[in-house]
Amino acid sequence: MTDANQPLVLIVEDEKAIRRFLKTSLASNGFRTIEAETAHHAIDMIQSHGPDLVILDLGLPDADGSGVIDHVRSSSQLPIIILSARDRERDKVGALDRGADDYLTKPFGVDELMARVRVALRNHARIADRDSKSALRFTTKKLSVNLETRQVKVDGEDVRLTATEYRLLATLIKHAGKVLTHRFLLREVWGPGHADEAHLVRVHMANLRNKLERDTTKPAYILTEQGVGYRLCCDDA
C-alpha cells in the first residue's frame, strides 16, 4: 500500500482531529505521511526523514511555527504549506514572507488541501529543474503567454501590456498556483524599497486584470486572496 516512490508529507499539527483529517485525505490521494506535534519534533523529523513537503500549523504548543520555517529555509527550499485561522492574516503574510510556499485557512476542504499540495510540489520541482526549457510558454484556459517573445494572448487575441503589467504577470506565472503577497510582488517587480506601497500593486494589478479578465469581479486567471495577495489560477489549482 505504501510505496517509497510516493511523496512523503510531514504534518506538523498539535490537534489530533486535524492531523487525522490531513493524514486520511493525503493517504487517499497517494501520499505517505509522517506526523509531528511540536516544533522541535518537526525539526527532528525533517532532518531524519527528509520529507518532500511540510504542512505546518502556525500555532504550536512549544514554539511559533515560523521558527520551523526559518530553520528549514536556512538550508533548503523544502515546500511548506502553513495552516492558519482566518483572522490571522498578518501571521499568514508574515509566514509567506519568511519563505512559506502557501497557506490554508481553517476550516478547509480536501479539494483545497490537495490543490495547494500539488502546486507546492510542482513549483518546487520546477525550481529544482531550472535549466529545463519547458517553462517558456504558459497556457491556462484561454490565456497563453510566450515568455520568450513576451506575447500575451487571451482567446487568441493579442493583449498589449505595459512593462509593469507584463512583469506582474510574468512573476505570477513563475509561481503559478501559489499565493504571492503584496510585499513579494513589490520586491520582484518594483525592486527593494517599495515594501509598504501595496497600492502600487493594486493599481497595476487592476489594469492588468482589466486587460485579461472578461469580468474582473469573477476573474478566471488572477484571484485576490483578501488581506494576503494574489494567486494565478492554473490548471491544478
Q: How many C-beta neighbours within 10 Å does residue 139 have?
A: 12
Under the binding rule (CB under 8 A), the answer on residue 226 touching another protein is: yes
Name the β-bridge partners of 33: 9
Length of the chain: 237
Q: Which residue, 31 or 221, has its beta carbon nearer to another protein? A: 221
Which of 16, 49, 141, 202 is in the footprint of another protein by CB under 8 A?
202
In this structure, are residues 31 and 113 in contact, taking their beta carbons and an 8 Å threshold?
no
Would you give the binding string for another protein spanning residues 156-175, x where CB under 8 A is met?
A: ------xxx-xx--xx--x-
214 near another protein, judged by CB under 8 A: no
CB-based burial label for 93 (10 Å; 0-12, 13-18, 19+): buried
Candidates 68, 78, 209, 221; binder of another protein (CB under 8 A) is: 209
Q: Does 86 bind another protein (CB under 8 A)?
A: yes
The verdict on 191 binding another protein (CB under 8 A) reads yes
User: At closest approach, how far in Å is the CB of 158 from another protein?
Assistant: 17
DSSP per-residue string spanning 26-83: HHHTT-EEEEESSHHHHHHHHHHH--SEEEEESB-SSSBHHHHHHHHHTT----EEEE
Closest approach, Cβ 29 to another protein, in A, equals: 19
Contacts with 206 (C-beta within 8 Å, 6 or more apart), sequence order: 216
| Positions in the binding site for another protein (CB under 8 A) | 86-87, 89, 107, 147, 150, 162-164, 166-167, 170-171, 174, 188-191, 197-200, 202-206, 209, 215-219, 223-227
